[in-house]
Structure 1
Amino acid sequence: MKLTTTLPARISVDNSSQKTAITATVKNEGTRESADIRLLVVGFDGLKVTGVRGCDAVAAKDLPAGSNSAFSCPVGALGAGRSKSYAVDATFDLGGTGRICLPVQSADGKKTFWQQGPVPFGTTNPSPNAPATPLLLGTDNKPVGPGGDQLPKTGAGRDVLPLGAAGAALIAAGAAGVWWSQRRPRQRS
């Protein structure tokens, strides 16, 4: 038995709700049926798994180290050349990075046959003003900048105003000094 998993090469995250859908697939690429197995779907960092159809949430005390969420999917025995897919609901914080991990284990969880990840989903070209941001598997996320009607801050900001006012006051004082020094006293007759 040769067990593997696959994830989509690309997912899309709704920019307002941060929700996304992922398909996790476990496959037996071997020539004989597998033993009873389970698939874990584990979220890390900014990717939080909120539900997997047909699977049970892993209790917080039993989560893998460093993870924020996990679901356990009982696959059973998987025939040679067969696969089984699971619809995964998740949220992705576009302000950070997010990773997912798919371990394939014995039904009792004592032996791991295969593990994909943790692998990142991300983009190097965030689109905060679009309805959704596409994320690519295996790409570290470049966090999104300001969204909505707010533009990124560039150039001189408010910090320059006090310095500009002080500079203008010095120029005015210098001009007054030049005028004062060149005044000629009136002669009285």
Structure 2
Amino acid sequence: MSYRRRAAIAGSLVAASFSTVVIFSAVAGAENGGPGSDQGGKAVDRAPAGVELTTLLPERISVDNSSKKTGITATVKNDGSKESDDIRLLVVGFDGLRIEEVKGCAEIPEKDLPEGSNSGFSCPVGKLGAGKSRSYDVEASYDLTKEGRICLPVQSADGSRTFWQQGPVPFGTANPSPDAPATPLLLGTDNEPVTPGGDELARTGVGREALVPLGAAGAVLVAVGAAGVWGARRRGES
């Protein structure tokens, strides 16, 4: 696996707690796990002994075709035998999927978002006990004329380590229904938008193989597909 291929993406995210972000490209083979799934997830940095952090996204969501609104439940779990240290969960939207609000979380300023993303929130989880989980209600919009992806990294409170990352993973449908009240979308499915111009699909965001500069920060982001892994590592004092 090309798990360790990476390109740095800089930025201090919300408040002083955010640190440099790195995009990892990898193939993640997680299977669907019921109503909540860790599909597209991958461990990045080693968690403390006895701590096993993962995330779950719903296998299905539904987008209102009039308002373009949808709701997503983002869950962070500790499947280990020991309580974690203070952690945080990031919820980041890409392409046609925009994160509008995550209750109890702080919005990431636009200037600090990773290249290729359009929105994001940082959720202070705190310590998470063994066998415990915490869920967040995510309000999002989805432009069904585009593809859409979401990413859930689980990090140490200071952002120096990323213990787990789910995504960027797509929600989508191969059978759009623009005349219906709502369009159901499946996790891990590339969206095939209805386009007025024929058979060619709308391609949005950064090309999967491209390197894109991060403006003044001078960092780059490796755009990844549904099985990409987005982690964070402290790169020293600036």
Question: Larger % of helix: which?
Answer: 1
Say if 1:128 and 1:145, in contact at 8 Å, map to a contact too: no
Q: 1:95 corresponds to which letter in structure 2?
A: T
1:37-65, Cα deviation, whole Å (9 max, x unpaired): 00000000000000000001001121123
How far is the alpha carbon of 1:108 from its aligned partner? 1.0
Matched-pair identity in %: 73
| Aligned equivalent of 2:39 | none
CA–CA distance in structure 1, aligned partners of residues 189 and 103 of structure 2:
26
1:19-45, Cα deviation, whole Å (9 max, x unpaired): 000000000011100010000000000
Say whether residues 1:140 and 2:190 are aligned partners: yes
Give every structure 1 segment of 4 or more consecutive aligned residues whose post-TM-superposition deviation is greater than 3 Å: none
Structure 2 residue corresponding to 1:87, chosen from 106, 125, 137: 137
| Aligned equivalent of 2:85 | 35
Say whether residues 1:66 and 2:143 are aligned partners: no
C-alpha RMSD over aligned residues: 1.3
CA–CA distance in structure 1, aligned partners of residues 193 and 140 of structure 2:
18
The secondary structure found in structure 2 opposite 1:23 is strand
The secondary structure found in structure 2 opposite 1:7 is strand
CA–CA distance in structure 1, aligned partners of residues 194 and 183 of structure 2:
10
Structure 2 residue corresponding to 1:51, chosen from 81, 101, 115: 101
> Whose relative contact order is higher, 1 or 2, with alpha carbons under 8 Å and at least 6 apart?
2
CA–CA distance in structure 2, aligned partners of residues 88 and 47 of structure 1:
12
Aligned pair count reads 148
CA–CA distance in structure 2, aligned partners of residues 32 and 61 of structure 1:
37
The structure whose Rg is larger is: 1
Structure 1 unaligned segments of length 5 or more: list them.
147-151, 154-189
Say if 1:40 and 1:102, in contact at 8 Å, map to a contact too: yes
CA–CA distance in structure 2, aligned partners of residues 65 and 33 of structure 1:
33
Structure 2 unaligned segments of length 5 or more: list them.
1-50, 199-238
Say whether residues 1:125 and 2:163 are aligned partners: no
CA–CA distance in structure 2, aligned partners of residues 77 and 71 of structure 1:
19
